Chain A
Amino acid sequence: MSHIDVKLKKTFPGTGFNIDVNFTLPKGEITVIFGPSGSGKSTILRLLAGLECAEAGSICLGSQSWFDSAKGINLPPQKRSTGFLFQDLALFPHLDVKANIGYALDGKNSLNSVKKMIEMTELTGLEDRYPHELSGGEKQRVALSRALIRSPELLLLDEPFSALDAAVKKTLYNEIIKLHKKIGFTAVLVTHDLAEAYRLAEHAVTLKSGKVERQGSPEEVFLGKGLSTRIQIPVKVFAMESDEIHTLLTVEENGRTFRVFVDNDEAQSISIGDEVIVAAKASEALVFKI
């Protein structure tokens, strides 16, 4: 299986809103579904997880089908190998951290698996705490660990960072990227935050009113033709200065020099001499006189 093919149709009588999508999720990559509120992003995740049922279409993982309306296949959520990171996390309040993480597991090896996952997500020392005793970021890590512990075929992330402050978000982005590199899971992240989408996406799908607007690599989708409100400028980095939070890049484009502020996390992969693309849209651009 090199990818997951998704074709889904669902109508919502009386609302005038329909979902009619056809997209591909590359195996081992993080696909970001990006779109405004009400575009059907979360419903698509619920359809993928089997928590809601589409009227027509299919979800195929190679020869395996989770859903196929033509063949009458509709596996319940328990039979689909998914891990779901809910927007409100849905941690079980009566279970401590280790019981939450190990909830999906049975048998002798579950303790070892939980221990490994706790170490991997840096939750050591918090095993016996209950969800109400954790910070927002810690709760996220517990929910992520719980979703990943069964090594699901597909990890579904429903705007899990929307309630967090910027610093915690960035830490978690890095952790997800780190875990992704380590485990290599296939994931779908739903978000309406462009920066988040661009930062985490390896493959991207944009949605508008329940329909796929475009899909492909993040560069094609977010910086491609047709998005006239955004600009992209290929530049060369020739100086970098950092403080505790930001890095100031001095870049050059066709003999013109300008400076761009980026977060330190984003600057980690950039070095002097690199050729990079500066992308901006009117509402997010920062302009400094040189």
Chain B
Amino acid sequence: MNYFEPIWLSVKLSFVTTVFLIIFGIPIAFWLANTKSRIKPIIEAITALPIVLPPTVIGFYILLAIGQKGPIGKLYESLFDTQLAFSFSGLVVGSFFYSLPFAVQPIQAAFEGVDKGLVEASWTLGKSKRETFYRIIIPMSKRGLITGGVLSFAHTMGEFGVVLMVGGNIPGVTKVASIAIYDEVQAMNYSEANILALFMLFLSFSVLLLIYRFNKRVVQSV
């Protein structure tokens, strides 16, 4: 069995999803942290849905949206001439929505925790809102950003239901480590499943350990 392929796919999926979650999660979290809009609770509830919904429910609706007859699926196919569902890109879309609250919530909490006085001090020193965001709010929210990134990565590494619904089980394309382990167990190949599982355990633990150690250093320096 090729152990490398599903593990590499899991790592690649987690990394790409985390990058997208950080890129899109920061503006969403910043808006949620600062808005007084009446629709804030609705947006908060939508972003938090993946925490309470079974992965199969989320996977089902994402599949409907990105499938060949779904609006996103149709658009994607017309643009790139290939289908989104059951592809690596489709997995990224599914993982993005499934892990969204794990990125948004810690980052939002970090933004809400930044002392408003520091932001106002920056404004009175002539710095624009954008510059204040990059020079004060982001550095002061490092811990939340790192936590959001770690949770997104870890949550995507451990995905099973959504990945199976949206990506199926295509070797080298959508068959990530968690599905490969499930396949091996179904085939009674416990030793193969164990090797994959141990590798995943070691990899996940190492990544988390590294990031939390880094996070501690960052917090101490602030």
Contacts and interface: CB of A to CB of B under 8 A. Distances in A.
Contact of B222 (A77, A84, A94, A146): A94
B222 A78 contact: no
A86 B121 CA distance: 8
Interface in B118-164: 118, 120-128, 135-136, 139-140
Contacts of B120: 49, 51, 77, 84, 86, 90
B126 A90 contact: no
Given A84-B121, A86-B117, A94 B126 contact: no
Contact of A78 (B115, B117, B123, B140): B123
Nearest to A80: B124
Interface string A133-148: 0000000000000100
Say which size band chain B's interface belongs to: 10 to 19
Interface in A72-90: 76-78, 80, 82-84, 86, 88, 90
A104 B135 CA distance: 11
Contacts, number: 53
A146 B117 contact: no
Say which size band chain A's interface belongs to: 20 to 34
B139 A150 contact: no
B221 interface: yes
Nearest to B124: A84
A78 B121 contact: no
A82 B124 contact: yes
A92 interface: yes
A104 B222 CA distance: 20
Interface of A: 49-51, 76-78, 80, 82-84, 86, 88, 90, 92-94, 103-104, 146, 150, 156
